[in-house]
Amino acid sequence: MINKNLNSARQFLLSSKYLPYLLAITFVLHISGIVAALGSDDYLQWAALSGSEFLYDKGFAIADPGLSLFAQLANQFNFFDAKQGNLAQLIDYGALPWWTESDIKIHLYRPLSSLTHWIDYNFWPHSVIWMHFENLLIFMLLVFLVYRLYQRTTASAGIAALAALIYSLDASHAESLAWVASRNAFLAPVFGVLAISSFIQWRETSRLSQMFLSFFLLLCTLLSAEAGIATTAYLFAYMLWIDKAPLVKRVIALLPVAGLVILWRIAYNDAGFGSENVAHYVDPGRDPLIFAERLIDRYPLMVASVNTGFDGGLRMLSLAQQRDFWIFSCVVTVLTCLIFYPVLKQDKYCRFWMTGAMIAVIPLCTINVTSARVFEFIAIGFFVVLASYAQWAFSAIAAPLRGKVQTGVVRLLAGFGLLAHIGLATLVLAGGSVFALVSYTKDDLEEAIYPFYDFEKMDYEDRYLVVANAPHVFLLQFVPYKLSYRGLPVPDGIRTLAPGLSTMTITRLGERELLVDVDGGFSIYSHIDIPGEVAQSTAGVVHNSRMLMGFFGRRDRSYEVGQQFSYEDSSIEIAEVLDGRPKAIKATFNYPLDQGKYLFVEWDWGSFSYSELELPALGEQVVLKGPFYQAEALLKEEGL
C-alpha cells in the first residue's frame, strides 16, 4: 500500500501536468493574502506615496505631498532617521515613545520594490486587494522560477518537483503575503533566482551576455531588498562545487560579484541609508563586533527554524524559552548536517544548495528576530536537500543496502521533514485562508489581527491621546498614518506613559500630575525579561512586543533620576530607576486632567482591547494589570 502510494506520488511529480497543478495549489492555499487588511508598514508607504497635507503639517516629513519621485522611492522604508529630519518630529508628536533615543535610524533603500508600490498608488490607489494579488502573483512567479532552477541543478526531475512543492507550500510565505509592504521579500528572490540561473548559464556556455545579465540581475536583487545579498552565497557555492574551471579562474569569476556588492554597499552608506544605534537591526559594516555576537545567537536559531518548520515562531517565545531553543537549535544544526550527510556525500548539487543556504543565513542574522520574511532565500537551498534526502530515504533500490533499522530511521526523519513542510503547513495555510475569508466577509479582519492601534471609535479629535499601558508600543507609530488613510482626524499628539507588559500603579499627585510606578521596572529593552514571564510564560504577542523594543535604541543605554523629557503639552521626569531602567516616572501635563484636553486609555489583557481610563481622584491610585499579573504577584509574595 505504501509503495503504491509512493509510486503514485512519483508519477504525479514527473507528469507534464505537475507545474500547472503546483501553481494552482500555491494560489489556492495562499489566497488569504489577497483579502488581508493593510497593516503597520503599509500605512507608512501610503503616506510616502500619496502624501497628506494634514500629516505633513503635524511634522510627518515623509507625508509631504510635494515629494519628488526619487524622494518617494527613498522614503517608503524610512521608519525614522535623525540625520534626515523626521526622528525629532516623530518623538515630539509621540508616534515614538519618550524613551526613544535621539540618534537612531532605520532607513532602508529598496527602490525597485518601492517602484512597484509607486505604480500601485498612482494607478489603482484604492484597490488593496489588487496590491495583495500582485504579491501573490510575484510569489507564484518565484515558485515557477525556483522550480525551473531546480530542474537544472538537481540530480533528478523528481527531486526538483518535490523541492518546489515543499517550497511553495511552506507556511512561512503567509506572513509576507499578508503585507503589501513585504513585496520585497518575494521580489528580491525573483531577481536572485534569475541571477543564479544566468550566472550558471554563463559558466556553462561562456556567453558574455549571460555574465552581464547575471550581474545586472544581482544588482536588481540588491535594489529590491538588502536580503538580496544572500544571492551571492549561492554563486559562491556553485563555483565551489559545480563549476569545472581551474581554481584561479573560478576565483577571478567571483571578483566582479564581490566588487558589485562592495560598490553597492559604499553607495548605500554614502547616501545615508541603513540602520544606526538600534538593537533590532545590526549593521555589520558599522558594528562588526555586535554583529559577531548576534551571529552566534541567531545563526543556529534560523537554521533550526527553517528546517523544523518553526519559522518565525521564535519571536513569540520568552527569553528563557529562546535560550532553551538556542540549545535545541545548536543540536538541530549539527544534526541537519549529519542527517543530510549521505546525500551531501553522493550529490554535488546537494552540496551546492546546502552550502549556499548555510552561507545565506549569515547576512540575514542582522535582524533580531527569526521572522518568516527573511527565510525566502535560505529555504530555497535547504528544501532541495530535504527533497533529495526524502527521495533517497524512500528509494526502493537503496533500502535493502541500508538494512531494516537504518531504513526505518531515515524514512522516519524524511517523513518528519515532509510532514512539517507539506502536511502541517497545508493545514495551517488552509486554516488561515478560511479564517481570513470569514473575517473578510464580516469586515473585521483588521481588528482581529491589529487591535493594538485600533482607536477609530474613540473621541480623540482635538485631544491628546494618552496611552497608559501600551501593549505593543512599536505599532503606535502607525496610528496617525492609519487614521489619516481612512480619512479620519488624528490626535493632537500621542503620549505613551509606559509599555503595558508589566503591572503598573498610577497615582494622582495633583490636577496635572501623575506618578506611574511599574513593577520590576519599565520593559523597554528587548534583551531583559518581562517581570513574571519566567514564572509564567506562554508563547504570545507579549514577547514579540518586548522584542520590538529594540527599535527604540541601543541595549547599553541607562537612565538617571531627575532626567526629563519635555513636549509642548507635557513632560516626563524619571522618579526612580532600577538597574539603569526607569521604574517610576512623574508625568506633568500643561492642561488640567479633568478639562477634557486628554483622552486617557488603558489596555486590558483580558478582553484584548483598549478602553477609556478613568483617572483616580487626587491622592488615590489605580492598578493596571500586566499580562503576567498572577505570576508577578506570586514572585512578590516570595520576595523575588
- Three-state helix/strand/coil letters over 59-125: CCHHHCCCCCHHHHHHHCCEEEEHHHCCHHHHHHHCCCCCCCCCCCEEECCCHHHHHHHHHHHHHCC
pLDDT of residue 34: 84
pLDDT of residue 504: 94
Domain ranges in the chain are 2-35+108-435, 453-637
Neighbours of 348 (CB within 10 A): 14
pTM for the whole structure:
0.92
Mean pLDDT of the chain: 88
Runs of H (alpha helix) within 288-340 = 288-308, 319-339
**pLDDT tens digits, one per residue of 494-535:** 999 999 998 999 999 999 999 999 988 999 998 888 877 765
The candidate with the shortest Cα–Cα distance to 450, out of 46, 37, 30, 33, is 37
User: What count of Cα atoms within 13 Å lies in the side-chain half-sphere of residue 274?
Assistant: 18
The candidate with the shortest Cα–Cα distance to 610, out of 479, 485, 514, 511, is 479
Contact 329, 303 (CB under 8 A): yes
pLDDT of residue 406: 76
What are the start-end ranges of the E strands in 500-635? 504-508, 513-518, 564-566, 570-578, 581-589, 598-604, 609-612, 621-624
pLDDT of residue 632: 63
What are the start-end ranges of the E strands in 412-477? 464-470
Cα distance between residue 49 and residue 33, in whole Å? 22
The candidate with the shortest Cα–Cα distance to 422, out of 454, 450, 390, 446, is 390
Q: How many helices (H) and strands (E) does the chain have?
A: 27, 13
Rounded to an integer, the average pLDDT of 154-162 is 93
**pLDDT tens digits, one per residue of 50-81:** 988 888 888 888 889 988 999 899 988 998 88
pLDDT of residue 395: 80
Neighbours of 43 (CB within 10 A): 23
**pLDDT tens digits, one per residue of 335-392:** 999 999 999 999 999 999 999 999 999 998 888 766 667 788 999 999 999 999 999 8
Question: Which range scores top for mean pLDDT: 173-182, 402-411, 498-507, 541-550?
Answer: 498-507
Measured over the CA atoms of residue 259, residue 261, residue 266 and residue 271, the dihedral's sign is positive
Measured over the CA atoms of residue 55, residue 95, residue 374 and residue 544, the dihedral's sign is negative
pLDDT of residue 535: 58
pLDDT of residue 324: 87
pLDDT at 170 over 90: no
What b-and-e string marks burial along 522-559, b requiring 16 or more CB atoms within 10 Å of the CB? bbbbbebbbbbbbeebeeebbbbbbbbbbbbbbeeeeb
The candidate with the shortest Cα–Cα distance to 208, out of 160, 178, 253, is 253
Cα dist. 51→67, 72, 131, 412 in Å? Answer: 8, 9, 18, 56
pLDDT tier, 620 (very low <50, low <70, confident <90, very high otherwise): very high
Where does residue 562 fall: left (phi above 0), alpha (psi -120 to 50 degrees), or beta otherwise?
left
Cα distance between residue 471 and residue 251, in whole Å? 52
Contact 385, 354 (CB under 8 A): yes
pLDDT of residue 437: 65
In the chain, what are the helix, strand and coil shares in percent, each to the nearest 5?
60, 10, 30
pLDDT of residue 453: 82
pLDDT at 315 over 80: no
pLDDT of residue 83: 74
pLDDT of residue 358: 96
Strand, coil or helix: what is 466? strand
Rounded to an integer, the average pLDDT of 571-587 is 95
pLDDT of residue 465: 96
Runs of H (alpha helix) within 361-403 = 376-393, 399-402
**pLDDT tens digits, one per residue of 457-475:** 899 999 999 999 999 999 9
pLDDT at 488 over 80: yes
- The residue ranking higher by pLDDT, 84 or 514, is 514
- Long-range Cβ contact pairs of 7-11 (< 8 A, separation 24 or more): 10/158
The candidate with the shortest Cα–Cα distance to 389, out of 375, 362, 361, 409, is 409
**pLDDT tens digits, one per residue of 388-404:** 999 988 886 666 656 67
Strand, coil or helix: what is 495? strand
Determine which of 224-228, 357-361, 565-569, 636-640 has the lowest per-residue pLDDT on average: 636-640
pLDDT of residue 157: 92
Contact 164, 147 (CB under 8 A): yes
Phi, psi torsion values for 601, nearest 5 degrees: -130, 150
Where does residue 309 fall: left (phi above 0), alpha (psi -120 to 50 degrees), or beta otherwise?
left
Kindly compute the dihedral angle of the four CA atoms of residues 451, 452, 455, 461, in this order, to the nearest 10 degrees.
Answer: -170
Rounded to an integer, the average pLDDT of 536-561 is 83
**pLDDT tens digits, one per residue of 225-284:** 999 999 999 999 999 999 999 999 999 999 999 999 999 999 999 998 988 888 888 888
pLDDT at 179 over 80: yes
DSSP track, 565-576: EE-SSEEEEEEE
β-strand pairing of 570-578 with 621-624: unpaired
pLDDT of residue 420: 82
pLDDT of residue 452: 82
Rounded to an integer, the average pLDDT of 471-500 is 92
pLDDT of residue 527: 86
Grid coordinates given for 107 = 532607513
Rounded to an integer, the average pLDDT of 575-587 is 94
Cα distance between residue 280 and residue 544, in whole Å? 12
Rounded to an integer, the average pLDDT of 123-130 is 90
The candidate with the shortest Cα–Cα distance to 498, out of 368, 367, 617, 613, is 613
pLDDT tier, 142 (very low <50, low <70, confident <90, very high otherwise): very high
What b-and-e string marks burial along 99-135, b requiring 16 or more CB atoms within 10 Å of the CB? bbbeebbbbbbbebbbbbbbebbeeeeeebeebbebb
The candidate with the shortest Cα–Cα distance to 122, out of 48, 54, 191, 62, is 48
What one-character DSSP code corresponds to residue 521? S
